[in-house]
Structure 1
Amino acid sequence: MKNMQTKLDVIGNNIANVNTYGFKKGRVTFKDMMSQTVAGASASNETRGGTNPKQVGLGSTLATIDTIHDGSSLQTTNRSLDLGIDGDGYFVVRQGTAQYYTRAGNFYLDDNGLLVNGDGLAVQAYQYDNAGNLTNRLGDIAVNVNAVMPAQTTTIISAAGNLPANAIAEDTTATPPVKGFIYTQQIKVVDKNGNAHALDVHFKKTGENEWSLYINQDPNKADSTGTEIKFKADGTLDSDEEIDITNKIPIGKDADGNDIELELGDNGLTLNVSQLSQNSGTASALLDPDGSTEGKLESFNIGATGDITGVYSNGEIVTLGRLALAKFSNTSGLMKAGNNLFQETINSGTANIGAAGEGRGTLVSGSLEMSNVDLSEEFTEMIVAQRGFQANTRIITTSDEILQELVNLKR
């Protein structure tokens, strides 16, 4: 009867948590107790066959109370801080030095921008350094919604792609003079004061395997100063991979008609042409300047691999951190700690913590994992346990009647 009551307790807990996000249901199994041996087994001989042992069972006892860690359906919430795990893995949260694990991904930001669960435990993530490189440092992750990205002065322009080898080269000795092929595109650079400027950049073919780069200057004017780029006959670069642009870059005129020049940083401006080539075909060279204006954090999102990326008003996207997931050799060995949390035990194995998508499942933003409790199964088990309890109560009634008959024998 006590065993059946324990099973009913577990079933009741499952039903109570049918709407608890990330809840893992329990299951009770039984085993028979030691049996009283009335007679042992005997072997056969020449005149008689063997006999089986005679044993009287002494009842049942609890074998296990299992936690079923099977995944459940994901419910769409469309809330950016709600995360579901598609596959194995557990979120890692920390309170002081104590580390817990959970499948419930309803997270929040506290007053300091710290990512926490509903009870205020800090969600753990891998940090990125100032250079944007992922580190192995695991810790709390903060999303500062009031963050301001300072302006970054443009210091380098990277060129990649192709310039057509069969383009017409400039020839000033011909009659009439031949103008060289010009390929133009526009880029945005940031001066040392954090102001953005749109500049026209022209590639002009000035000779056999020779080009000149003009920034915000008319490439057909005699007084324009270009930056020379040379190629070999096979189309590979014949100039330095990095070229210092020392010529002045005009960005407008003042009241007196004089040129206003771009105010660069202390290190000037460098043109990186290591990825530029000259082959037959069309022009496909692209210029990518670094630098950015001041920007404020407008939004953030969490990707399938756990990367938390912030989108700034200047168009820059910065990765703030990568959520960590834990995996265990024996998930059934985890111990429930309440509040949708699990604790590591000596039988669960040490937590194997890493990024999502590395055998730990992927994250689904805007959704939450539902409880894996099946109400139809629970109610069926409840009926079975109730009948088992009811049948065992009959033993007490029958035993009482037998004792009554024994007492009446003296009459």
Structure 2
Amino acid sequence: MLRSMYAGVSGLNAHQQMMDVTGNNISNVNTIGFKSSRVTFKEMLSQTIQGASAPQANRAGTNPQQVGLGVGVGSIDSDMSSGNLQSTGKTSDVAIQGDGFFVLRDGNNQVYSRAGNLNFDENGRLYSSSTGMLVQGWMADANGDYGDFNAQNIDDITLKQEINAQETDKVKYGKNLDAGAMNSLEILEQNLELSTASGYGEELSFSLQETEEFNVWDFTLNASNSSTEFSSNGETFDDTLKGKIKLDNNGNITSFETNEGLATEVDLLTNPLVTTIVDPSGTNPDETLSLSSTDVNNIFTNSTGVNDANVDLAFEQTAKRNIAVDVFDSQGGKHTVVLPLEKTANNEWQISDSDEDFSVDGITGTASLGGDHTITFDANGNIDGGETVELTFTPAGPDMEQTVELDFSAVTQFDGSMTANFTNVNGYEDGALESFSFTETGDVVGSYSNGLTQTLAKLGLANFSNPAGLMRQEGVFQTTSNSGDPELGAAAQGGFGSLAPATLEMSNANLSQEFTNMITAQRGFQASSKLITTSDEMLQELVNLKR
């Protein structure tokens, strides 16, 4: 009976420990990254009353007779399975999806945690908000590259609080220049009602037609009277004169020629056009008016001064793309460079040093390309020449000449769209850290006030052959002789889980299972206590036999 009483005592102890573990699991149901535990029981040593006997010729063998001495705790196992993820929206939170632990530094010791509620202290060091321990990882160089991911170079993660200014030395351009872009030439007003000294006159009309040639228009000059004749350079034409007019990108006439009925063109810029007007009555001699071309705003003038005959044309340079880009000097000063690309011929565009739109900070004449720069394209719309050119200017702050390479190698020329623009500028002003975030691969990305984002570090993760063999201590895990040494590496590679930014891993304690365990522990404890009281009653009956 004493054995049954002590068996009941062992049952009380075992179920009390089960209740302790269950209570700990329930109390940590909202603890970030918590891993629940479970208790397994084992039978204690049994007292052998009679050993087993082997079978004999005339008698069967007998089994051993043993009385158990109670129950003990066989193990308290950690459940290292992942908990559910909770989105927090906080950029400093991060959770591990899969295997691995965050690596923390506690003085000179490394410890491990699944809790990803992280933050930065005033020195820019990343630490665990739950424990205050410093998070370990690998720092990136200026190009965002890392060395080897190993234990020798893992260190505290410290964010760079400021980024120094960097001078712009290259601007890349891309997208499309419209192959079909044409400048515009329109007739605003024409006054070609000519009057002679004898009082009779003629009314002429001038019209334009756009051609496929760049900056070239067909023109037609008509007389209302069929007897009127046009002549120039000894050549005589009927009452209709046709030809071509060519302009440069400033709207100046470069060629004003007629080839109507001629083997060669007649240049009306150097050979005045004579209009012979016949008196319908036949009483007066024929009279002539000479018209000469001067400029685009007044291409015809009455050379006789009898009347002010003219055609007013409006030229608009629409085959042009002004691209503004901000570049930075060595002190971080920002300067706006406006680069005018104007079409000068089919498949040819030019940037002119003397263009009034070519400016730095709105001031013309302060930058140079070393002369006019021409960009050419082949028949397929791909760049064929003039891929790069160097822009030089002297910013006021540093007061030293700065050279910027302009790269047009990615610019195309297809019909229909005018989208050419800069695609990349490699300089920036100085900036202060405003925020940071994590990526799925563990990169720590800083966002700065100058609009720059930079990869600064990578979180280190640790993995174990037997993670359940880790020992808990103040909310973190430590290695033991049965957990194995940690394997360090980066997230999402080499068997390590990926990261979920702005997310936390919740406790993996299952409340429904824990409440069931609590009932089981309670009933086991109750039964064990009943065993003690029953044994006590039996002892009491034994004492009463003396009476």
Provide the TM-score with structure 1 as the length reference. 0.79
What residue number does 1:310 align with? 446
Contact 2:329 2:402 in 1 (8 A): no
Amino acid at match of 1:111: E
- Residue 478 of structure 2 corresponds to residue 336 of structure 1: no
- Unaligned ranges ≥5, structure 2: 1-10, 183-212, 218-243, 250-316, 359-364
Deviation (angstroms), 1:129: 0.4
Deviation (angstroms), 1:360: 0.9
Deviation (angstroms), 1:27: 0.3
What residue number does 2:66 align with? 56
Distance 1:96 1:214 in 2: 65
Distance 1:52 1:204 in 2: 111
What residue number does 2:162 align with? 148
Distance 1:328 1:215 in 2: 66
Return the match for 2:245 from 157, 164, 175: 175
Q: 1:212-231 to 2 correspondence within 5 Å? A: 212-214=350-352, 217-218=355-356, 225-231=371-377
Secondary structure, aligned partner of 2:460: strand
What residue number does 2:79 align with? 68
* CA deviation string 1:90-144 (max 9, x = no partner): 2211123311111222323323221112433111132110223344453212235
Return the match for 1:361 from 498, 503, 508: 498
Return the match for 1:238 from 372, 384, 395: 384
Distance 2:523 2:162 in 1: 66
* CA deviation string 1:24-63 (max 9, x = no partner): 1110012334554846487899x99x87845535243333
Return the match for 2:516 from 373, 376, 380: 380
The 1:194/1:109 distance shift into structure 2, 3 A limit, reads: closer
The 1:337/1:33 distance shift into structure 2, 3 A limit, reads: same
The 1:184/1:349 distance shift into structure 2, 3 A limit, reads: farther
Calculate percent identity across the aligned residue pairs. 39
Distance 1:262 1:271 in 2: 22
Deviation (angstroms), 1:172: 8.3
Deviation (angstroms), 1:7: 1.4
Deviation (angstroms), 1:190: 1.8
Instruction: Determine which structure has more spread, i.e. the larger CA radius of gyration.
Output: 2
Deviation (angstroms), 1:157: 1.0
What residue number does 1:200 align with? 338
- Residue 362 of structure 2 corresponds to residue 351 of structure 1: no
Contact 1:29 1:63 in 2 (8 A): yes
Amino acid at match of 2:38: R
Secondary structure, aligned partner of 1:293: coil
Distance 1:399 1:196 in 2: 92
Deviation (angstroms), 1:268: 1.2
Contact 2:333 2:397 in 1 (8 A): no
Deviation (angstroms), 1:65: 0.9
Contact 1:327 1:360 in 2 (8 A): no
- Unaligned ranges ≥5, structure 1: 250-259
What residue number does 1:7 align with? 18
Contact 1:4 1:386 in 2 (8 A): yes
The 1:138/1:227 distance shift into structure 2, 3 A limit, reads: farther
Deviation (angstroms), 1:13: 2.1
Return the match for 2:43 from 32, 51, 57: 32
Contact 2:141 2:456 in 1 (8 A): no
Secondary structure, aligned partner of 2:154: strand
What residue number does 2:174 align with? 160
Amino acid at match of 2:332: G
Amino acid at match of 2:341: F
Secondary structure, aligned partner of 1:69: coil
Distance 1:261 1:403 in 2: 106
What residue number does 1:101 align with? 112
Deviation (angstroms), 1:291: 1.4
Secondary structure, aligned partner of 1:14: helix
What residue number does 2:133 align with? 121
* Aligned Cα root-mean-square deviation (Å): 3.8
Contact 1:69 1:332 in 2 (8 A): yes
The 1:170/1:270 distance shift into structure 2, 3 A limit, reads: farther
* CA deviation string 1:152-176 (max 9, x = no partner): 2221111223334455575589623
Q: How many residues align?
A: 392
Deviation (angstroms), 1:290: 2.2
